[in-house]
Chain A
Amino acid sequence: MKKKNTSFYINKIWINVLLWILVIVVIYPLFWIFINSLKTNQNLFINTFNIPTDPLFSNYVDAWNMGLSGYFLNSIIVGSISILATVTIGAFCAYGLSRVESKWKMMIYYLIIGGLLLSPQSALISLYRILEFFHIYNTYLAMILPYIAFRLPFAIFLMYTYFKDFPKELEDSALIDGCTTFTTFTKIVIPISKPILSTVSIMTAIFVWNEFLFAMVFLEDSKLYTIPIGLYNFKDALTTNWTVLLAGIIIATVPIIILFLFMSKSFIRGLTEGSVKG
């Protein structure tokens, strides 16, 4: 019994030490970026490891005023419209698919789900021409429409699986009571489906938050830039002004981390159910 205890403690120690080391590996770079974002450029070139004695928050103000505020707003606009549209259009479609009786049903289903297999990159060049054809190159819609289209297959896949297994008794009784399919769906199905809707929303939010390639190719006007592409442009505009760039990175990072701290459970659920990154 005693022997088992020693080996238990030895295991416990090395495992915990390893896990704490990894915590440092994850956190220290972030911390290092943070302390350097509070320095003047001159101090940065002298020492990057000390903690500044008089932290300089003006870097944050500069970064914010250099356009980050606009990029934030754009990300929020593009993100919220994309989320709203993906959830709405996707939910209607998934619900329709799960209830319709038609010989085309499975074909349509596979056509939609097939979209999952197609990578956005291989559509880039012709999408650019299509957006041009619709005269929406260099507008919010140039991002929003492709984002919705490329998020829909997965959203529908998740919601379809959810609605399919949904107990039909409630709906049937509502339909008998004279409700239309529309009110049945919005009043009865939607309220009980909140978890899956929030999963889809979080997935879409993270996608928009990250998307770089479409935003770079489909936009010209810096007033429309979202955060990723705006931050990237900072790199060019601030070649010698490192500390402001670092402050910009921190500003762009903090909101999602705060959001995560408050709702880590639904984030993790959202990301594990929607386990498709990028």
Chain B
Amino acid sequence: MAAQRIGLFATCPVDLFRPSVGFATAALLEAAGFTVEVPPQSCCGQVSYNNGLRDDAREVAWQLVQAFEPYDYTVLPSGSCAGMISHHYPALFAGDVRLPRVEDFCQRVYELTTFLVEVAGFTRLADNTASLSCTYHDSCAGLRELGIQAQPRELLGHCGGVVLKEMTDTNVCCGFGGTFCVKFGKVSAHMADAKLDNALATGADLLLGGDVSCLLHLAGRARRRGLDLQVRHIAEVLAGALSQPAIGEAAGQGSGKGRAP
């Protein structure tokens, strides 16, 4: 039987800022026995949707549905965009003749860690030689719209060398919130600081999460404050793809902690 085909939807922040997360995602899915393809893609429509431009969001969503419905599964390294699709697309197309196709598609859309645990049952994850002291931030949409909480932790448990140190308020928002972080910059930074301080308090060297958007915001704030804390997407750790510098760090720079001696 031919391998099942996965359409990899990288999401805007990965496409623009963090291709290594896209490649790590592809590597994990291929190792789990799937064929991975990356069709031409843009945005899931969440930016329009959350800013009150519902009609725009629907048409952006429709191009995504059309591009990805031929695949057996669509997998995203983001709880936020996956939540937008599987949680909000059906409401967005309510009363629209395209709804049945949208609903059929949405049932085959998965966030990465959920897919690896619940569909692929994949546990042959990276065996890091160096010890990685990590803490995990639960991004809001993934947590509250899709119930992603146990999955990333289970996968990290299968990952060699990872020591997970849970922080206080791991389920509280980091302050990104899409255009919120630009419109209400200081409030957003205040929320990021609370998150970063909680992460630092665990003594972990590496702050992990499942959404590059939140992580760009957190890493950017950590760099601005000069904090000794690296930020990465969980896919990079699971795939053992740590050759690229952590988010916002220059090659060979940043904190020396948490690296192989």
Bind each other: no
Contacts from A to B (Cβ < 8 Å): none
